[in-house]
Amino acid sequence: MKALLPLYSLNIFIGSALLFLIEPLIARYILPWFGSVPSVWNSCLFFFQLCLLAGYAYAHFLNRYFSPKKQISIHLCLLTVSLLFMPVIPGLEWKPTDPSAPEKQIVFLLAATIGLPFFLLSATSPLLQAWASRIYQERSPYRLYALSNLGSLLGLFSYPFIFEPQLTLRLQAISWSVVYCAFIILSLFCALGFSKSVKESLLILPKKQEEALPVTSCPRRHYFLWLWLSACSSVVLLATTNQIFQEISVVSLFWLLPLALYLISFIICFEYEKFAAGRLWLLFFWLTMGALMWMMGHDDSDSLNIALQIGIFSAVVFACSVLCHAQLVRLKPPAGQLTTFYLMISLGGTLGGAFVIFIAPIIFVGFWEFHLGVLLTYFCCALLIVGGKNYFQRLWLRCGIGILWLLGLAGLIYGLKAHINARYDDAIVSARNFYGVLTVTENNQGTKYVSRTLRHGPTQHGYQYLSPYWRSIPAAYYTSPTGINIAHRKLSAIFERGLNIGTVGLGAGTIAALGFAEDKITFYEINPYILEIATNYFTYLEDSLSQLRVVMGDARLSLENELKNNPGGDGYDLLILDAFNGDAIPVHLLTQEASRIYWQHLRPDGILAVHISNAHVDLTSVVAALAADAGKKMILISTEEDLDKDTYGTDWLLITNNELFLNDIEVLTSVQRGISLPKLNLWTDEYSNILQILKPMVWPKLVAN
């Protein structure tokens, strides 16, 4: 009987590791299918929370209403059926053909490919803890919960640092499936050990005792607090992930970091209860809130170092999670209600995820669920102040802490409200959907009358003057000195005909202003709101002399589908990659597989133009590797910011073997020379490394000169 506990511990550990290994693995598979936007990760995370809730509910009802013999039979039957899902590789038939309702498509896709295995892995920890609590009544089963979170944490970190760099996606999926089969065998031994360890009559609590537990040991208000605390930490986790992806890039490591800190908070709180509930964590939370207010009050987020931003956001997730989970531990019930407790925690997490994924985009025009989550979590401090009598025994100390809490609350509300107002005070329209937050602002700069600016998140995506004379002239990243403007003008002169142009990313439609009357321009755009805004609030499309066409859906999938109907491609003279998710990089558009699709659409003497202007990363080496793989030459044309000439600081990479273009005098004088490129591995759908291309650290000035 003593040997069962290590066996249970090992099974819980392996199950938890598998649970959190499959999350980034399956998300990597489907990320390119839905545009590599932040909401793909959060939709996956919501599905995982939903499965976790179902698994905890399954464990709760199985343990409460079935005899041990029936529990074992049901569980082993389901584990056997789950082998039909192996290997966990989503078929190509799940690629989306309709860009509408991507959240539902993702949930259905995940349910059909990994639903049952994930559900059973979710149920493993609470079910085995319930079994262990009946066998080892003198031991606390909550330490096994800390062990399960440790397994989850190791599973998370092993993916970006071990599995992702060493194995292809297919080998990752096959390896995971093999270990899952071993997990099922181990579960069989755990079930057999459970049935043989004690007699069935001793494992069932008397009915009167079972009914008395919730009343005597668990007040009804605790159910609400369990839901609230777990929902708050879940909202902060998902909302912070949205914030990080909107500002930087949609890559697995940046998704795993907040989730890992979330899991670490569970380990600390359930394994080291007194340490987690100490006053130092309250101080750490307040300091973190101060750092967050300072960052949000910064005028230009692009000038803040990427590591500093990630550090502050991560600290917010960790501080909020520890604060909430420490209160959960303080309010945890006896072992008899263990599965009920876990069920309520899971339900709260799922409700928080549902709020971020489905409700917040409807009721908020920005990512204000982050602000709401932080504010609601702040109220958890009151629980510690009021309920933590062991730490604030003296009345004067509790009164002083209470006053500080009220002052902090006022400061937090003021700071969050100021941040919202700063983003949207001058907005004439705001729109939010699965693909992010879009705003159009209108202002008078005093030089060329009124202008309108399009923003995706905090990042400017170009602007247009509304004056009849100036509105048809391309501004921002597309003025005459920029690489894309030069490429268009020179190709038109070389070919002496209208150009066939493809553009990945519509934006405000500025590229339409480059076109001549003989040109044909096809825009590929995934976000339907972009098309509405470009049509109704900007006039580049309306004023263009070119023949325009807009194809809705992910650009890569659209180009791939067009090749099926026309294997020779569209014969583009110029194909422009100008797609951004906020300031984030759509990695799936910069891989070897994507590059090969582009060159099938381009004429042999055509140009692939890649817009790489970015505050945080340098894509030059990545694109250079793609150019070398395609046997093409690449040049960089950088333009300094000159607002008097309506030009933003812009970097364009032009890839071609067109010697007439490459030897043109204006091109030669515009090319950036003397750049040294580190040699990077070619990015593919199964390999990318964002850490290698981060720009050098530039810390902000804290004191004005």
> Which stretch, 187-201, 389-403, 605-619, has highest mean pLDDT?
605-619
β-pairing verdict for 547-552 and 520-525: parallel
Neighbours of 290 (CB within 10 A): 14
Hunting for tokens 């082998």 — which residue is that? 83
Q: What pLDDT is stored for residue 206 in this prediction? A: 42
Q: Do residues 146 and 267 lie in contact, with contact meaning Cβ atoms separated by under 8 Å?
A: yes
Q: Which amino acid is at 56?
A: Y
Instruction: Please state the rounded mean pLDDT for residues 237-260.
Output: 70
Question: Can you say whether residue 305 is alpha, beta or left, with left for phi > 0 and alpha for psi between -120 and 50 degrees?
Answer: beta
β-pairing verdict for 572-577 and 500-504: parallel
Of 293 and 247, the structure prediction assigns the larger pLDDT to 293
Tokens of 459: 């990042």
Q: What pLDDT is stored for residue 329 in this prediction? A: 81
Domain ranges in the chain? 1-205, 218-330+361-425, 468-693
Q: What is the pLDDT of residues 329-362, one digit of tens each?
A: 878 887 667 778 888 888 888 888 888 878 888 8
Q: Which of 100, 113, 109 is nearest to 35 (CA)?
A: 100
Q: In the structure, what pLDDT confidence band is assigned to residue 628 with cuts at 50, 70 and 90?
A: very high
Backbone angles phi, psi at 366, to 5 degrees: -130, -175
Q: What is the pLDDT of residues 493-538, one digit of tens each?
A: 999 899 999 999 898 999 999 999 999 999 999 888 899 999 999 9
160 pLDDT exceeds 70? yes
442 pLDDT exceeds 50? yes
439 pLDDT exceeds 90? no
Rounded Cα gap, residues 406 and 373, in angstroms:
18
Residue 241: how many CA atoms within 13 Å on its side-chain side? 31
Tokens of 34: 């839905």
Tokens of 148: 């399960």
Tokens of 145: 């919960």
Q: Which amino acid is at 135?
A: I
Cα separation values, 363 from 357, 359, 431, 433, 529, Å: 11, 6, 11, 11, 16
Q: What pLDDT is stored for residue 674 in this prediction? A: 65
Q: Which amino acid is at 600?
A: Q
Instruction: Please state the rounded mean pLDDT for residues 31-40.
Output: 70
CATH 1.20.1250.20 fits 1-205, yes or no: yes
371 pLDDT exceeds 80? yes
Q: What pLDDT is stored for residue 579 in this prediction? A: 82
Tokens of 434: 């699965």
Q: Which of 664, 501, 618, 616 is nearest to 248 (CA)?
A: 616
**Distance from chain centroid for Cα 17:** 20
Q: Which long-range contacts (CB under 8 A, 24 or more apart) does 686-690 make?
A: 686/168, 686/169, 686/170, 687/164, 687/165, 687/168, 688/251, 688/587, 688/590, 688/591, 689/165, 690/249, 690/251, 690/253, 690/254, 690/585, 690/587, 690/617
Q: What pLDDT is stored for residue 534 in this prediction? A: 92
Q: Which amino acid is at 212?
A: A
pTM for the model: 0.74
Rounded Cα gap, residues 45 and 358, in angstroms:
13
Tokens of 66: 């079935």
Q: Where are the alpha helices (DSSP H) in 645-687?
A: 659-662, 665-670
203 pLDDT exceeds 60? no
Q: What pLDDT is stored for residue 490 in this prediction? A: 94
> Which stretch, 524-538, 560-574, 582-596, 678-692, has highest mean pLDDT?
524-538
583 pLDDT exceeds 80? no
Q: What pLDDT is stored for residue 699 in this prediction? A: 39
Q: What is the pLDDT of residues 289-327, one digit of tens each?
A: 888 888 877 655 545 666 777 788 889 999 888 888 888
Collapsing DSSP to helix, strand or coil, 521 comes out as strand
Q: Do residues 216 and 6 lie in contact, with contact meaning Cβ atoms separated by under 8 Å?
A: no
**Helix (H) or strand (E) segment spanning residue 522:** strand 520-525
Q: Which of 594, 177, 229 is nearest to 380 (CA)?
A: 229
| Beta-bridge mates of residue 455 | 439, 460
Query: 577: Cβ–Cβ under 8 A, 6 or more apart, which residues?
Result: 504, 505, 589, 590, 598, 608, 609, 610, 611
**Start-to-end CA span in the chain (Å):** 71
Q: Do residues 432 and 438 lie in contact, with contact meaning Cβ atoms separated by under 8 Å?
A: yes
| Beta-bridge mates of residue 429 | 440
Q: In the structure, what pLDDT confidence band is assigned to residue 701 with cuts at 50, 70 and 90?
A: very low
CATH level 2 (architecture), domain 468-693: 3-Layer(aba) Sandwich (3.40)
DSSP structure class, residue 695 = P
Q: At what angle do helices 38-65 and 4-30 cross, to 10 degrees?
A: 150
Give me Rg for the CA atoms of the chain.
Answer: 28
Rounded Cα gap, residues 578 and 588, in angstroms:
13
**Exposed e or buried b for every residue in 257-283, given b needs 16+ CB within 10 A?**
bbbbbbbbbbbbbbbeeeebbbeebbe
Collapsing DSSP to helix, strand or coil, 219 comes out as coil
Of 196 and 201, the structure prediction assigns the larger pLDDT to 196
Give the DSSP letter string of 266-335. Answer: HHHHHHSHHHHTSHHHHHHHHHHHHHHHHHHT-S-GGGS-HHHHHHHHHHHHHHHHHHHHHHHHHT---G
Q: What is the pLDDT of residues 36-69, one digit of tens each?
A: 666 677 778 778 888 888 888 888 888 888 887 8
Query: 223: Cβ–Cβ under 8 A, 6 or more apart, which residues?
Result: 344
Rounded Cα gap, residues 178 and 471, in angstroms:
61
Total number of residues shown for the chain:
705
Q: What is the pLDDT of residues 72-115, one digit of tens each?
A: 889 889 999 999 888 888 877 777 766 566 777 788 888 888 88
Tokens of 485: 């403007």
Exposed (0-12), middle (13-18) or buried (19+): which is 234, by Cβ within 10 Å? Answer: buried
Q: At what angle do helices 68-81 and 102-135 cross, to 10 degrees?
A: 140
